[in-house]
Amino acid sequence: MTRHDWFDQGERLDQALATLPRDVPPARDLWSGIEAQLEPAAAGTALATRRNPWAWQLAAAVVLVAASSLITASLVRRDAAPRVAQAPAVPAPASVDAQALPAAFGPSHRLSPEYENAHRQLTAMLQERIGRMPASARGKLEDNLAQLRRAADAINQALAEEPGDPLLEELLLSTYQEELAVLAAANQLTAAGGPGPQPDSSRIQL
């Protein structure tokens, strides 16, 4: 085929593509199926706060999640069992659970009951035990969890603008998984008589 033929064919192809109807109605009316899934409150909720460009939120979330992991790792390494055992018992601050992650995967999905149970269980255990941690470590842990929750919140907002975005969905899942891992690590750290039975966060199905 000569170059001329190719251009000619390309032009004819473009013309043919341009003639295709953009609208192709479905063979059956899909409205009844859609209507059945419309929750009355969903679209009627108060208008969302104006968004920042989600790319910034996403970038911030990635940084926060990464930073959170590093902090947790260093926390677990430094504050080994002996220091925990020596730490005086103080009442657990209420702030650990005050801003617990909403158990929602994006604006339109629910997380699995298994995840919710594990999250609830780990949070409750940590509330009991956090008083055994040194104040500095406790502060870092609380900051760490708060950062993860802010990250999840930002990703959730971005997902609302880009529903179904695969990158955001994966990031949100990893953030939830990260939070479970932090909770589990903190519980292990604060366990008085060694780590007791607790949910294995690495095997939780989100």
Partner 1 sequence: MAQAGSAGVCTMPAAFLGLGRHEPRWTLALDSAESELERARHAADEHRLVEAARRGSQAAFEKLYRLHCGRVHGLCLRMTAQRETAEDCTQEAFVQAWRNLARFETRSSFGTWLHRIAVNTVLAHKRRRAESLGAEGSAEDEAAETLEDGGVPDLAMQGDLEAAIASLPPGARHVLVLAGIYGYSHEEVSAMLGIAVGTCKAQLHRARHLLGTRLQLGEENT
**By the criterion CB under 8 A, which residues form the site for partner 1?**
6, 9-10, 13-14, 16-17, 20-28, 30-31, 33-35, 37-48, 51, 107-108, 157, 160-167, 169
Structure tokens at 56: 């910034």
**Shortest gap between Cβ of 176 and partner 1 (angstroms)?**
18
**Shortest gap between Cβ of 204 and partner 1 (angstroms)?**
18
- Strands annotated E in 145-201: none
**Shortest gap between Cβ of 108 and partner 1 (angstroms)?**
4
**Shortest gap between Cβ of 166 and partner 1 (angstroms)?**
6
Q: Give Cα separations from 113 to 103, 158, 183, 203, 206 (angstroms).
A: 9, 24, 17, 14, 9
Nearer to partner 1, 113 or 163 (CB): 163
Structure tokens at 198: 């607790």
